[in-house]
């Protein structure tokens, strides 16, 4: 259907198996292997993609190292680096329709969201970091050792491995690639095996923009092979990872071999809190977005909904109504309000959690299973609202990463803070209130890297983002991320 309406996308998909980008060339995997990538709305195969494993990671690391040491990159002025990043933003915009459709076909997300958010935010990220390329400054240091002139240099770390998940393929790619390049690193980039297509298309745009060969290498493949090879590679100086907490821990262990630097953006079980003085209609709408946006496949999803007792029934029935009416369907269908989850594996994981919730005695207010009928071939899960969930329930503690919210009443704010913070995670929190004091008090108390007051899931390239506790370490975006992609050298000059 829509696929055929966009000739460039159809032609691109039909133009044969996709290859790996290594050293500025499109190459087959050393093993010759390919894997299939799917449309999660239909379960159909979209394309065959070369499957990188450790031999290909070796080749990509050699290409990235060569590029890092080459004059073409090393002697490139910061201004020129910034211009290349700006050019990427222009090319992303120029190919916006095509990228949006490809993102939706491969990920399942709503096409209107790919168009309005994923693609423009990806371009914006490149543009924001284009500006930073010329502004990464060292300092002069007023040391107290006599006759010394002391200053710092901010240098790129070197070859950076980047591993991303499938929930926001284009945006995650931009979050990783743009700041690392602005700082002058070279990259071995592995998209998720579920969603390699827009990353490969970005690879073509990197070449078109004029990045020197080997500066960006793109190597789709599976986690335990290609991903693990990146994490343990002695030739990689830093790994930036977004994904599950368990794989994050495996990456930390694997990094010990050469003590590569690691930054991690991991899972969450974020509390979203409604106080009785909130604009309740607005809070209900915002809390729907907090949990159901992107089918709930968002690391910051507001999956633990805490509502003050006096407004609990109103909120729960409001959300239950809206969720019941939500129209599930393929992302390319303009009438769809929620798409499929990413894969059979995620479908099973999410419905497995729903069954666990039922078994542990929680009440399903709406949803509670996979969607059938016309949608039976896709990986569609009904938006699901649970009540009667004790804090100790599995579905109240573990990240589900699907359209499933647990609604829990609370009495007062002190009790609430302790419950909200009782989690291994600390990525985000939402607060709905019109009371300024309560908003700031809670924002200070909650253990999370981002707090949203009367909004949820707001992001901007300028605003730092990252986790507390087992939601990871390091920050993305803003100038904070540049510290993650540079290292500081201190120079002492004896003036006597
Ligand atoms: P995952 O963490 O296994 O995969 C994310 C990325 O890591 C992919 O590129 C994958 O190929 C790679 N990877 C997997 N194993 C690896 C290894 N041993 N070494 C290096 N790289 C490896 O996540 P998965 O299996 O797709 O989803 C499972 C759960 O993880 C989800 O249900 C959700 O709870 C969580 N998750 C959280 C995300 C977030 O944004 N924080 C994103 C994706 C998943
Ligand atoms: Mg996994």
Q: Are 425 and 432 in contact (CB under 8 A)?
A: no
pLDDT confidence of residue 7:
87
Cα(233)–Cα(260) distance, integer angstroms? 9
Q: Are strands 428-432 and 271-274 parallel, antiparallel or unpaired?
A: parallel
Query: Tokens 């262990």 correspond to what residue?
Result: 253
Nearest CA to ligand 1 atom 43: 243
DSSP 303-349: -EEEEEHHHHHHHHHHHHHHHHH--B--TTSTT-SB---S-HHHHHH
pLDDT confidence of residue 3:
53
Which of 244, 262, 270, 343 has most ligand 1 atoms within 8 Å of CB, for mutation? 244
**Alpha helix (H) residue ranges in 75-227:** 78-94, 96-107, 111-113, 119-132, 169-182, 197-209
Cα(28)–Cα(189) distance, integer angstroms? 16
User: From ligand 2's centre to the CA of 141, what distance in Å?
Assistant: 45
Cα(334)–Cα(440) distance, integer angstroms? 39
| Contact partners, residue 91, CB within 8 Å, separation at least 6 | 205, 208, 209
pLDDT confidence of residue 6:
84
Catalytic site positions? 265, 299
User: From ligand 2's centre to the CA of 177, what distance in Å?
Assistant: 22
Output b/e per residue, 338-360; b: 16+ Cβ within 10 A. Answer: bbbbbbeebbeebbebbeebeeb
Cα(355)–Cα(365) distance, integer angstroms? 14
From 144, 197, 223, select the one nearest 15 (Cα to Cα).
Answer: 197
Cα(17)–Cα(35) distance, integer angstroms? 9
- Closest-approaching ligand to the CA atom of 228: 1
From 196, 161, 202, select the one nearest 180 (Cα to Cα).
Answer: 161
Ligand 1: lining residues by beta carbon, under 6 Å? 163-165, 167, 190, 192-193, 222-224, 227-228, 231, 242-244, 247, 250-251, 266-267, 299, 349, 399, 401
Cα(96)–Cα(89) distance, integer angstroms? 10
The closest-lying atom of ligand 1 relative to the alpha carbon of residue 342 is 26
210 three-state secondary structure: coil
List the pLDDT tens digit at each of the 496 positions of the chain. Answer: 445 468 899 999 999 999 999 999 999 999 999 999 999 999 999 999 999 999 999 999 999 999 999 999 999 999 999 999 999 999 999 999 999 999 999 999 999 999 999 999 999 999 999 999 999 999 999 999 999 999 999 999 999 999 999 999 999 999 999 999 999 999 999 999 999 999 999 999 999 999 999 999 999 999 999 999 999 999 999 999 999 999 999 999 999 999 999 999 999 999 999 999 999 999 999 999 999 999 999 999 999 999 999 999 999 999 999 999 999 999 999 999 999 999 999 999 999 999 999 999 999 999 999 999 999 999 999 999 999 999 999 999 999 999 999 999 999 999 999 999 999 999 999 999 999 999 999 999 999 999 999 999 999 999 999 999 999 999 999 999 999 999 999 999 999 9
Residue 226: other Cβ atoms inside 10 A: 26
Query: Tokens 């450790």 correspond to what residue?
Result: 54
User: From ligand 1's centre to the CA of 250, what distance in Å?
Assistant: 11
pLDDT confidence of residue 1:
45
The closest-lying atom of ligand 1 relative to the alpha carbon of residue 472 is 41
What pTM, to 2 d.p., does this model score?
0.98
Cα(465)–Cα(478) distance, integer angstroms? 8
């Amino acid at each position: 259907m829509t696929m055929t309406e966009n000739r460039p996308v159809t032609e691109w998909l039909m133009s044969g198996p996709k290859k790996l980008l290594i050293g500025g060339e499109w190459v087959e995997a050393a093993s010759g292997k390919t894997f299939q990538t799917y449309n999660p709305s239909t379960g159909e195969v979209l394309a065959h993609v070369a499957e990188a494993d450790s031999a290909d990671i070796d080749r990509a690391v050699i290409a990235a190292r060569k590029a890092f040491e080459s004059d073409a990159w090393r002697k490139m002025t910061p201004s020129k680096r910034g211009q290349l990043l700006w050019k990427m933003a222009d090319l992303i915009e120029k190919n916006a329709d095509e990228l949006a459709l490809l993102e939706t076909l491969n990920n399942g997300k709503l096409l209107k969201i790919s168009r309005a958010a994923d693609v423009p935010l990806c371009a914006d990220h490149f543009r924001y970091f284009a500006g930073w390329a010329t502004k990464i400054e060292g300092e002069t240091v007023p040391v107290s050792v006599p006759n010394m002139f002391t200053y710092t240099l901010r240098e790129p770390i070197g070859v950076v491995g980047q591993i991303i998940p499938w929930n926001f393929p284009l945006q995650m790619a931009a979050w990783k690639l743009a700041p690392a390049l602005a700082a002058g690193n070279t990259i071995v980039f592995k998209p998720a095996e579920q969603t390699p297509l827009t990353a490969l298309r970005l690879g073509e745009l990197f070449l078109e923009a004029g990045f020197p060969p080997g500066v960006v290498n793109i190597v789709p493949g599976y986690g335990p092979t290609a991903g693990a090879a990146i994490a343990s590679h002695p030739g990689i100086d830093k790994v930036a990872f977004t994904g599950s907490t368990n794989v994050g821990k495996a990456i930390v262990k694997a990094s010990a071999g050469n003590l590569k630097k690691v930054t991690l953006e991991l899972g969450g079980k974020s509390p979203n809190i409604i106080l009785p003085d909130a604009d309740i209609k607005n809070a209900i709408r915002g809390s729907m977005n907090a949990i159901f946006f992107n089918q709930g496949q968002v690391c910051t999803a507001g999956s633990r909904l805490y509502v003050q007792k006096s407004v609990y029934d109103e909120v729960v029935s409001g959300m239950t109504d809206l969720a019941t009416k939500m129209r599930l369907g393929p992302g390319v269908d303009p009438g769809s309000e929620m798409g499929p989850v990413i894969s059979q594996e995620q479908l099973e994981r999410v419905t497995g959690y729903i069954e666990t919730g039922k078994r542990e005695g929680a009440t399903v207010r709406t949803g509670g299973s996979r969607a059938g009928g016309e949608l039976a071939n896709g990986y569609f899960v009904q938006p699901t609202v649970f009540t009667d969930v004790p804090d100790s329930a599995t579905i109240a503690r573990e990240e589900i990463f699907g359209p499933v919210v647990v609604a829990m009443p609370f009495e007062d704010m002190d009790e609430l803070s302790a419950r909200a913070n009782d989690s291994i995670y600390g990525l985000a929190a939402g607060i709905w209130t019109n009371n300024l004091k309560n908003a700031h008090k809670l924002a200070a108390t909650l253990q999370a890297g981002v707090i949203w007051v009367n909004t949820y899931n707001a992001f901007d390239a300028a605003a730092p983002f990252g986790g507390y506790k087992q939601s990871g370490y390091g920050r993305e975006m803003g100038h904070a991320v540049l510290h993650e992609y540079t290292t500081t050298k201190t120079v002492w000059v004896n003036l006597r």
